[in-house]
Structure 1
Amino acid sequence: METKYIFITGGVISSLGKGVVSASLGMLLKYRGYRVSILKLDPYLNIDPGTLNPYEHGECFVTKDGSETDMDLGHYERFLNQETTKENNITSGLIYKTVIDNERKGIYLGKTVQVIPHITDEIKRRIRILGDSKNYDLIITEIGGTVGDIEILPYIESVRQLKWELGEFNGLIIHLTLLPYNNATGEIKTKPTQHSVRNLMENGVQVDIIVCRTKNNISDKIRNKLSLFCNIKTNHVIESIDTKIIYDIPYLLHLQKFDQIVLKYLRLKNFNFLKKKNCHHLIEWTSFLKKYKNPKFKIKIALVGKYILLHDSYKSIIESLIHAGTKNNINIKIKWIYSDLINKENIESTFNHVSGILIAPGFGKRGIEGKILAAKYAREKKIPFLGICLGMQISAVEFARNVLGIKEADTCESNPNTNHPIINLMEKQKNIFYKGGTMRLGNWRCILLKGSKLFSIYGKKEILERHRHRYEFNNNYFNHFSKAGMKPVGLNPETGLVEALELKNHIFFIGVQYHPEYKSTIINPHPLFISFVLTSKNKKYKSL
């Protein structure tokens, strides 16, 4: 069948949840038997989000092929239970760079390069790459930002052109918008949505379905009003009410026949869930929600980081803890700890009553000493510990200082002039000056040491995990660590790079250079998080 396209735009304000709605729709359509992929278009001029501060844009998600992408790709992978690649995220920076490079090469044959047609043509070409591969029946394209932003105009024009080129019943436009509640009058206001839809119409784009983000249920009166003023069918006004967990959203949308409406509009068969091969995934999803809402245990995990004011900075870690906790019938409460505020005086009160400590990834010098204190506390108090990327490096520095007696031990990232660089800049990174897209990224092999806890967690010798880092464990200290009980238990077979450290005679003390959170989904929770959470639960209940 010919690939069909669904475009999702946003209005009124940002951060309404286009990514979750896109992922939810993708999941519903996949479980009806269609081959689905989701594409994110970001209007900012960065080539990718790799150099963005997490406070600017949330987590940077890394795909298996080493692309630094928008955090929404994490939602796509977790909901669809399938991996994404560099083709699933496009930015204006990438579009403009491609067009300018083409102009320098003379590809446009002397033509004046303009937004229309050159920029819009490149946007359309990128959108159609996944569809042209013939691997998918449906491509959902989420457009970042909000209607009215000057940066988004080339994308809106591209959608207008593309829907016309695709032909009737091959393109669908969904608009996600906010329905604010006026406390003074006690009513939901539709005017912002009307203006948002009208803005699209002024640019030649007619919305086919409106998804309304709201805190209150919308009435038939509201639906009829939006139908009248926005030129859509009444049943094409879909409610997306606030929920405690995003994994409820697909079911709530399905109850309103969202997926059926989409299929009907695109003239596609409305396959029954239960007759398709993906049925078991839907059953697992339902089972997950039931277990999540009815936990048997509750524990508190300390998440130590430097970007905790915006929890989306650690979105994949949060979701991985939820996946692993639910798998073990455990409700996990995260205690957010800003590493820069940790000191010797408050260390006991900071980590008292937590069942496990997780030191999150990060970059730069700020907050390093607080993280070192946290690792020391977990090691000495026998609290289950998981260090991810920088978290592993921190645990190594702490061990060198306080067990090996190397008081000046440090990481070159925070102290380039240290005499004992336990964590050093990777050799291949030493002549790199550009920051964007130059780290060690994507899937890399790791061979696990037989007999180690990490080997028993994975149940196999070789694993493949995603990376995002410039610095590495200094192998000059390899034997010192091994003899003292901090064993390198994971190595890259090509480079000898230490991928994982594990402390002997501790209930659970593991640091990994890679990012296990990128691969965790509801259907396949990551085994490392499962083991960490389960050990934290058992540790807590043994101490009661």
Structure 2
Amino acid sequence: MTRYVFITGGVVSSLGKGLASAALAALLQARGHTVRLRKLDPYLNVDPGTMSPTQHGEVFVTDDGAETDLDLGHYERFTGLPATRADNITTGRIYLDIITKERRGDYLGATIQVIPHVTNAIKAFVLEGNEAFDFVLVEIGGTVGDIEGLPFFEAIRQLGQELPRGATAFVHLTLLPYIPSAGELKTKPTQHSVKELRSIGIQPDMLLCRCDRPIPVDERRKLALFCNVRETAVIEARDVASIYDVPLSYREAGLDREVLAHFGLEPKGEPDLTRWQSISERVRNPEGEVSIAIVGKYTGLKDAYKSLTEALTHGGIAHRVKVNLEWIEAEVFEREDPAPFLEGINGILVPGGFGQRGAEGKIRAARYARERKIPYFGICFGMQMAVIEAARSLAGVPAANSTEFGETAEPVVGLLTEWLRGNELEQRAAAGDLGGTMRLGAYDATLRPDTKIAEIYGTTTISERHRHRYEVNMAYRECLEAKGLRFSGLSPDGLLPETVEHVGHPWFIGVQFHPELKSRPFEPHPLFESFVGAAIVQSRLV
């Protein structure tokens, strides 16, 4: 029998439901159970693809081309299981599907209502395709009490009644704030949050309490009494130094044991957490450190680059070094000399982005890295800006630019209107919708065997995830390669540049795809492992 664990959140947002879900899934995996993770997002956008990164954070892309919530990145990193478009749904997607069916007449004249039509659609999504899994963990986005989340809470309430007895558990993630003047953790916000949850018909089975110190016995008993849960079901979720300590912390607090006990399952021995202990030890006890500058345009919200920062951490774990990140807003380099900001930096990473703002700053960062022989990693937009820089500075094309910024006489980067996905031709109109129309998901690439990137991968055939609307123009390949910028990887049909690198530079690589999306703490992506390794070498030269 498949068992369902519904994870909700209360008191405040950003408590870490995604991490909590991923960590619990990792613990259940370590006990030999099969798991699946799914995310329900209450916002009306069909997907986060058109949402501002400074509001929503990173858009995580799956192999099958879905633009999803960043929590799916946590799911993948903690479990090693690739997510799909079937693991994330929004209110917007549900309403779009329902309205499309209504326009077709599929409901045979029925009056369409939130209950039962919307809630039935949510339940169908939650239940679909779970036969092969022991546990399905379903995270409900937002905070209990949010009006937009009510249909989701109602749907999981109904599932609690409709699924077999003993097949569901409700875990409520909440906050125990410490009030210095009172000298104690306060339970009242959690009590009110649980009261709100119970008012819509859901009684939590476990409380996962975020706190910065141990929960005293009296407060634990008070929570159990007033929230109507067992005392053992009040689980301490204390702050930890690294997100990769969370599974170990939850194990010590007894979360996995409580979940199994709730379902009447006897633990099969102790979970094997050896690899988590190894990761934790490497993070806590680095043997050195390097400094990487991230020259981006969404640096005001670090979650906009969540997978990127984690991939750099994974590269550091592989080399047993701490990776210190220096966040630099790209627009600064449009006004000021990059040198004072990048002095002492061991590597420069220019990530993806959209729009002209900060583009010239990223170009100047690429030039600085090329001229100073500092390791440079350009991802997606970062690769395109590095190519424009080379065209302007080396290939005698001073007007080189991207059509993303408007009409240009030298479109070194241009809009992609059609491309092959396997054997299918995909097309997009220049004036078409923005949502879901990019080159999205996993695409193969062929690497030249005599290149640094092929050496790093150890193969000449790779598959990586993409999310972009513009491509480097192959018409400029010859003049660029004549000046040392090698097109080291192409799409299988040879029409689209996938990777570039500067010949003679210690480490200067640009990729059109997003390798950070496939990096794991136990399996660092080879490009990030190599980039951090190059930064270590650079640090010894400073």
Q: TM-score, normalised by structure 2?
A: 0.97
Per-residue Cα deviation, 1:213-253 (whole angstroms, up to 9, x for no partner): 11222111111000000000001001111122111111111
Contact kept? 1:291, 1:329, Cα under 8 Å: yes
Match of 2:241 among 244, 254, 262: 244
Structure 2 match to 1:287: 278
**1:431, distance to aligned residue in structure 2 (A):** 4.0
Aligned to 1:359: 350
Identify the residue that residue 333 of structure 2 maps to in structure 1.
342
* CA positional deviation for 1:273: 4.5
Q: C-alpha deviations, 1:298-347, integer Å up to 9, x for none? A: 11000010010110100001000001101101111000000001147431
Supply the AA of the counterpart residue of 2:187: T
1:6 corresponds to 2:1: no
Task: Please state if 1:27 is matched with 2:36.
Answer: no
Displacement of 1:104 in angstroms is 1.3
SS in 1 for 2:32: coil
Could you tell me which amino acid in structure 2 is paired with residue 419 of structure 1?
A
Does residue 423 of structure 2 align to residue 424 of structure 1?
no
CA shift, 1:45, in A, is 0.2
Cα offset for 1:189?
Answer: 1.0
Partners of 2:227 and 2:307 in 1: CA distance: 36
User: Distance between the aligned counterparts of 1:209 and 1:344, measured in 2?
Assistant: 53
CA contact (8 A) 1:344 1:373 kept: no
Counterpart for residue 193 of structure 2: 196
Looking at structure 2, the residues matched to 349 and 226 of structure 1 have their Cα atoms a distance apart, in angstroms, of 53
Provide the rounded CA distance (Å) in 1 between the counterparts of 2:85 and 2:204. Answer: 28
Alignment-derived partner of residue 384 in structure 2: 393
Spell out the pairing of 1:54-93 with structure 2 (5 A cutoff).
54-93=53-92
Task: Note the 1:423-462 alignment, pairs <5 A.
Answer: 423-428=413-418, 429-431=428-430, 433-462=432-461
Aligned partner (choices 284, 287, 302) of residue 296 of structure 1 = 287
Aligned pairs (5 A) from 1:301-380: 301-343=292-334, 345-380=336-371
CA apart distance, 1:287: 1.1
SS at match of 2:328: strand
The answer as to whether partners of 1:87 and 1:130 remain within 8 angstroms in 2 is no
- Which ranges in structure 2 are unaligned for 5 or more consecutive residues? 419-427
Which stretch of structure 1 is more off in the superposition, 230-239 or 103-112?
103-112
In structure 1, the residue matched to 2:139 is 142
CA positional deviation for 1:44: 0.1
1:51 aligns to 2:42 (yes or no)? no
Question: 1:467 deviation in Å?
Answer: 0.1
1:9–1:144: 8 Å Cα contact kept in structure 2?
Answer: yes
Mapped to 1, the partners of 2:433 and 2:319 lie a distance apart of: 43
RMSD after superposition = 1.1
| CA deviation profile, 1:484-509 (whole Å, cap 9, x unmatched) | 11010111113621000010000000
Cα contact 2:177–2:211 (8 A) shared by 1: yes
In the alignment, the residues of structure 2 paired with residue 130 and residue 303 of structure 1 have an alpha-carbon distance, to the nearest angstrom, of 40
CA distance in 2, matches of 1:353, 1:462: 36
Deviation per CA, 1:404-447, whole angstroms, max 9, x where unpaired? Answer: 12110001112x21100110101323445111111000000000
Aligned partners of 2:319, 2:154: CA distance in 1, in Å? 48
Does the aligned pair in 1 maintain the 2:237–2:253 contact within 8 Å? no
Give the whole-Å Cα distance in 2 for the aligned partners of 1:94 and 1:494.
34
Does 1:486 find its partner at 2:485? yes
Check conservation: 2:245, 2:276, Cα contact below 8 A: no
Q: Distance in 2 between matches of 1:214 and 1:260?
A: 20
SS at match of 1:364: coil
SS at match of 2:58: coil
Distance 2:456 2:361 in 1: 29
Provide the rounded CA distance (Å) in 2 between the counterparts of 1:343 and 1:369: 6
The corresponding residue for 1:105 is 104
Q: Distance in 2 between matches of 1:126 and 1:449?
A: 43
Q: Which SS does the other structure have where 1:354 is aligned?
A: coil
User: Aligned partners of 1:22 and 1:11: how far apart in 2?
Assistant: 15
Tell me, yes or no, if the aligned pair for 1:306 and 1:339 is still in contact at 8 Å. Answer: yes
- Equivalent position SS for 1:443: strand
SS of the aligned residue for 1:342 comes to helix
In the alignment, is the contact (CA less than 8 A) between 1:411 and 1:423 conserved in 2?
A: yes
Hey, what's the Cα distance between the residues in 2 that align with 1:263 and 1:78? 23
Separation in 2, partners of 1:482, 1:399: 10
> Does the 8 Å CA contact 2:2/2:135 hold for their aligned counterparts?
yes
Residue 540 of structure 1: how far off its partner (Å)? 1.3
SS at match of 2:281: helix
Secondary structure of the residue aligned to 1:121 is: helix
Counterparts of 2:355 and 2:175 in 1: how far apart (Å)? 37
**Gaps spanning 5+ residues in structure 1: where?**
none
Question: How far 1:284 moved relative to its partner?
Answer: 2.4
Q: Does the aligned pair in 1 maintain the 2:242–2:283 contact within 8 Å? A: no
Q: Does the 8 Å CA contact 1:213/1:241 hold for their aligned counterparts?
A: yes
The alignment partner of 2:49 has SS state of helix
- Distance, in Å, in 1 between the alignment partners of 2:132 and 2:457 is 31
3-state SS of 1:34 partner: coil
Deviation (angstroms), 1:465: 0.2
Query: Quick one: structure 1 residues 158 and 340, their matched pair in 2 at CA, closer, same or farther if it must change by over 3 Å?
Result: same
Residues 1:217 and 2:214 aligned together: yes
In the alignment, the residues of structure 2 paired with residue 27 and residue 516 of structure 1 have an alpha-carbon distance, to the nearest angstrom, of 23
Q: Which amino acid is 1:489 matched to?
A: S
Q: String of CA shifts for 1:351-384, please: whole Å, max 9, x gaps.
A: 0000000001100110001101000000000000
Compute the displacement of 1:389 (Å). 0.2
Cα displacement (A) at 1:67? 0.2
**Residue 35 of structure 2 aligns with which residue?**
36
State the secondary structure of the residue aligned to 2:377: strand
How far residue 263 of structure 1 moved from its aligned partner, in angstroms, is: 1.1
Corresponding residue SS for 1:130:
coil
Contact 2:248 2:277 in 1 (8 A): no
Q: Letter of the 2:93 partner, please give it.
A: L
SS at match of 2:129: helix
SS in 2 for 1:124: helix
User: The residue matched to 1:16 in structure 2 has which SS?
Assistant: coil
Q: Which amino acid aligns with 1:89?
A: N
1:131-160 CA deviation, whole Å, 9 max, x = no partner?
1xx221110000000000000111111011
1:98, CA displacement in angstroms?
1.1
Q: Is the 8 A contact 1:501 1:512 kept in 2?
A: yes
> 1:422-479, CA deviations, whole angstroms, 9 ceiling, x for partnerless residues?
1010132344511111100000000000010000000011000000001001010111
The answer (yes or no) to whether the contact 2:5–2:135 under 8 Å persists in 1 is yes
SS at match of 1:535: helix
Q: How far does residue 291 in structure 1 lie from its aligned partner after superposition?
A: 1.2
CA contact 1:130–1:139 (8 Å) conserved in 2: no
**Structure 2 SS opposite 1:413:** helix
Identity %: 46
SS of equivalent residue, structure 2 residue 434: coil
Contact 1:178 1:213 in 2 (8 A): yes
